[in-house]
Structure 1
Amino acid sequence: MSLDLLPFLLLILHHTNGQNSPNISIGSTFTAGNNCSLLSSCGGFAFGFYPVLDTLFLVGIWFNKIQERTLVWSANRDSPAETGSTISLTNGGQLVLNYANGNVQQIYSGAARLGIMQDDGNLVLRDIPVQIMFGKALSFPLIHFCQDKLYYQQQNSNSNSNSSGNLKYSAGKFMLEMQYDGKLVLSAYHFADPGYWLSSQANQGNGEVNLVFNQRNALLYLEKGQNNTIYSFQKNVPTPVEDHYHRATLDSFGNFQQYAHHKTNGRNWVRVWKILSEPCIVNAVCGAYGFCRSNDNETVDCECLPGYVFFDPCTPSNGCHPEAMINFCTNLSAANSKVEVVKDSDIPYQDVGDYEHYPDTDEEGCKKLVMDDCYAMAATLVNRTCYKKRTPILNAGKTSMTKGSISFIKVPTKSAKDGISARKKKSNTRAHLTAGLITSSSLAVLFGALALYCHPAPRRLIRRKWNPDSSRMHCCIDQ
């Protein structure tokens, strides 16, 4: 898919060593790799091509005045553009990303006449003179401050935003969503997760619930109707508020947090608050068959359950897979499996992850329940109740809240794994022998045919049988 760029009528851009204008008009275009962007009038925010690698760029908006230029929104986070790609506000009024390889992405498909990079960090497209065609369309998170104006973002009912992915800029596996019922929910949506955190208040009666940002005190809260707060986030933001940039983000490990950065003296972003005090509470944070630890309640350390190994050691959060694939139900015996016991841990994925409950059970009893059930790959013992788990196993971890709980993981024994390896070797040897016999037989036939063919007496027989007219057809080379 491709689109020829229309001749531009007016080009209003900012170069690093030139003048700044916050506006673009129809026909404006600029190119990835040319180090140009559209700045807000205060210079605090920029729109353009944000470099993520030497030759890859995101179309986005970022904080421009601080040393750590932080991206806050992108139109192509899962498809970075290469050097030579362009952004254009076409004569038809569409905001278009033209990739260098010929692909095209419409960022806005209406009929705008003017684009403005505002001091609140929002790119607004307008029809002349005043109608707003496109604006406040930035995917959450986006909370920031510039001069005397604070960006006011509201997230309406039935809207959502994704976390960052493994590449920091790509879409991740977690989502912040405002549901129809007025609850704000965090979930690992790729895993059909109903949510690992949600606001306690539901939308009862009429009135839309919004996630809003208070311009006076830099606080986030849920509001129903006008000035009816139904949920407030923590209140320890730095003051004076106007001296700081502010942003909220859903990070790659599924935690929703707010940060502040002093406009003149700050060297980095300082966290104001976070929703979750225990990082391992996040559903599927270490992927399938992963095991989450967090010794400091800040960082997430992903390991594999006993008997499992990482899909990608460089990205532990992608989860794990079995070292050896064994069908325990084909030979139900203690010889092919054992149960590893992990103290002070849990696999809390109730309703979805549990398939059988056994109350009044001790440690040995729960272990035996796993051993005797060929379909059970794991179980947990919590408050003397044994919970057998469905597969894939999710949310295994050790936190301050799992003390006293016990996890049981079924893994193949060494003899079972050796048996699989031996069968594989035997199968491979048999395959090699079969192939060798076939090859040897074929070569024997071939050599026999060649010997027969090259001997003088047989050649005369062949000539007499297959070539009665030697002047027309020759079966062998010249004698």
Structure 2
Amino acid sequence: MAIFLPCFISIFLILPSFITAQTNKNITLGSSITAGDISSSWVSPSKDFAFGFQQVEPGNFLLAIWFNQIPEKTISWSANRDKLAPSGSKVELASGRSLILTDPRGQELWRAKLSGGSPAYAALLDTGNLVVSKQDSVILWQSFDEPTDTLLPTQTLGQGAQLIAPYSEKNYSSGRFSFELTTSGNLALYTTDFPLFDSLNTNYLDYESQGLGFQVVYNQSGLLYLVGNDGSILRYMFSEDQASEHVLYQRVILEHDGVLRHYVYPKGSAGWSVKSFAPDNICTAVMQRTGSGVCGFNSYCQFRDDSKPHCLCPPGYSLLDPNYEMGGCYQNFPSQNCGNPSNEKEYDLKVLISVDWPLSDYEHYQNVTIDWCREVCLADCFCAVGIFEETGDCWKKKVPLSNGRSDVSVDRTAFIKVRKD
């Protein structure tokens, strides 16, 4: 049932300007920060958040906002995730211009796109929102309007706005998944046309808003919900999991593995803990007609007790990048030679239970035995994997294998063709 919030929308829209008027720690025109100066940052009045440069790899920096009073210094927003700033780069609140990031040669890397007028000051609010304002406190730009992968309490997503997951746990550049409220009012989690992002690919969790979604709200209590055009709450993202009074900080992030997670940092704790997440099982949720699925090509996804997907290579395959398990696997032996029939004797089949690669098949047989399925793949030089189901169905798969998953719900046996030596 929809819940109506009288005057909800109009009250919320005037809130940012009110908050700006309350802050007493403004950043003046001409103020700047240089990448590499670890003592330099702009801090919110409560000191809960800081804005400046964080080094993410040797010699390269992310212009970011982070949680400032916890050991992890967790990043909540960044400006240049896809174009890191080298040491010596500078961000400046330039008089008559904007908040601008330049490299050591003065080349512009990023700027805040102001809505109109000249900036008078900037401020990092206690909500974690960085704002650039006119003299009369009217906001010209705010980081809350341009989120990267994270939402903070009091932040919203309007129609056409999205979160884009990072590429990997340590690589903050744009990755393969998005959480978007479309301009037509539909809310969903999507796989992206990585690395282009010019259109969306497949939704793997549809919040069934039927085009009625107006705004995603993450309120101060920790509730994340979708508001309709009429101001009613259409649905909650995490089953109304309101944060307790013992929570110090909280955030919602679309992580590199495609899972939307609600994190809390309880008072006196040693770190972040997951309160809720969606979808329930990312490994079985994603099914791409084109693309690799959750894990890279030729690998398969296994969802474990830690509530995270793990990407594994089948026998005879190795990770393309040993430091990035979602990057896919390659066949580390010569493929079967179709021009040499006797070559078949040099190959064997390894068995994996409850594993499948949907949509990678090129032949399908019915009413056959498991032994027949095994032998028909072994004899076919094109067959990389044979899949058998107890119903008597048999599929031949070719590389690259996609949408790989391992789960108790997958009632199939996989035969992986490998070279004997």
TM-score when normalising by structure 1: 0.70
Match of residue 378 from structure 2: 371
Match of residue 214 from structure 1: 219
Q: Aligned to 1:367, what secondary structure does the other structure show?
A: helix
Off by >4 Å, runs of 4+ in structure 1:
191-194
Q: Distance in 1 between matches of 2:418 and 2:42?
A: 57
For structure 1, which runs of at least 5 residues remain unmatched after alignment? 1-19, 145-149, 415-479
Greater share of residues in helix:
1
- CA offsets per residue over residues 139-166 of structure 1, 9 Å max, x none? 244343xxxxx42222424634223425
Cα 1:72/1:209, change in 2 over 3 Å: same
Which sits farther off after the overlay, 378-387 or 249-258?
378-387
- CA offsets per residue over residues 151-210 of structure 1, 9 Å max, x none? 222242463422342524333333323344603123264399944631241424xx4443
Match of residue 346 from structure 1: 356
Q: Distance in 1 between matches of 2:187 and 2:151?
A: 20
Cα 1:298/1:405, change in 2 over 3 Å: same
- CA offsets per residue over residues 428-459 of structure 1, 9 Å max, x none? xxxxxxxxxxxxxxxxxxxxxxxxxxxxxxxx
Which sits farther off after the overlay, 323-332 or 81-90?
323-332
Q: CA deviation at 1:386?
A: 2.6
Match of residue 414 from structure 2: 407
Match of residue 322 from structure 1: 331
Match of residue 175 from structure 1: 178
**One-letter code of the match for 1:303?**
L
**One-letter code of the match for 1:290?**
S
Q: CA deviation at 1:21?
A: 5.9
Match of residue 165 from structure 1: 168
The percent identity for this pair of structures is 27
Which of residues 111, 128, 139 in structure 2 aligns to 1:121?
128
Match of residue 436 from structure 1: none
Q: Distance in 1 between matches of 2:49 and 2:275?
A: 21
Q: Distance in 1 between matches of 2:172 and 2:355?
A: 33
Which of residues 388, 401, 408 in structure 2 aligns to 1:393?
401
Question: Residues 26 and 93 of structure 1 are in contact (CA less than 8 Å); yes or no, is this contact kept in structure 2?
Answer: no
Q: Aligned to 2:367, what secondary structure does the other structure show?
A: coil
Question: Residues 352 and 415 of structure 2 are in contact (CA less than 8 Å); yes or no, is this contact kept in structure 1?
Answer: yes
**One-letter code of the match for 1:407?**
A
Q: CA deviation at 1:261?
A: 1.4
Q: Aligned to 1:329, what secondary structure does the other structure show?
A: coil
Q: CA deviation at 1:248?
A: 0.8
Match of residue 288 from structure 1: 297
Q: Aligned to 1:366, what secondary structure does the other structure show?
A: helix
Q: Distance in 2 between matches of 1:317 and 1:225?
A: 38
Match of residue 255 from structure 1: 259
Match of residue 28 from structure 1: 31
Q: Which has the higher contact order (CA 8 A, sep 6+)?
A: 2
Q: Distance in 2 between matches of 1:101 and 1:336?
A: 59
Q: Aligned to 1:252, what secondary structure does the other structure show?
A: coil
Question: Residues 289 and 392 of structure 1 are in contact (CA less than 8 Å); yes or no, is this contact kept in structure 2?
Answer: yes
Which runs of structure 2 are paired with 1:29-428 in the superposition (5 Å)? 29-34=32-37, 35-53=39-57, 55-100=59-104, 102-110=106-114, 112-113=118-119, 114-135=121-142, 136-144=144-152, 150-157=153-160, 159-179=162-182, 180=184, 182-187=186-191, 189-190=193-194, 194-195=201-202, 197-204=204-211, 207-215=212-220, 217-232=221-236, 233-240=238-245, 243-262=247-266, 264-278=267-281, 280-281=283-284, 283=286, 284-326=293-335, 328-332=337-341, 334-347=344-357, 349-350=358-359, 353-382=360-389, 384=391, 385-402=393-410, 404-414=411-421
- CA offsets per residue over residues 272-323 of structure 1, 9 Å max, x none? 1011343533654431112334442434443322222222223332221111
Q: Aligned to 1:317, what secondary structure does the other structure show?
A: helix
Greater share of residues in strand:
2
Q: CA deviation at 1:45?
A: 1.5
Q: Aligned to 2:345, what secondary structure does the other structure show?
A: coil
Cα 1:355/1:43, change in 2 over 3 Å: same
Cα 1:164/1:45, change in 2 over 3 Å: farther
Q: Distance in 2 between matches of 1:132 and 1:172?
A: 30
Cα 1:25/1:80, change in 2 over 3 Å: same
Cα 1:165/1:154, change in 2 over 3 Å: same
Q: Distance in 2 between matches of 1:202 and 1:357?
A: 37
Cα 1:399/1:95, change in 2 over 3 Å: same
Cα 1:208/1:237, change in 2 over 3 Å: closer
Aligned residues: 381
Q: Distance in 1 between matches of 2:141 and 2:389?
A: 52
Question: Residues 21 and 39 of structure 1 are in contact (CA less than 8 Å); yes or no, is this contact kept in structure 2?
Answer: no
Across the aligned residues of Structure 1 and Structure 2, the Cα RMSD in angstroms comes to 3.0
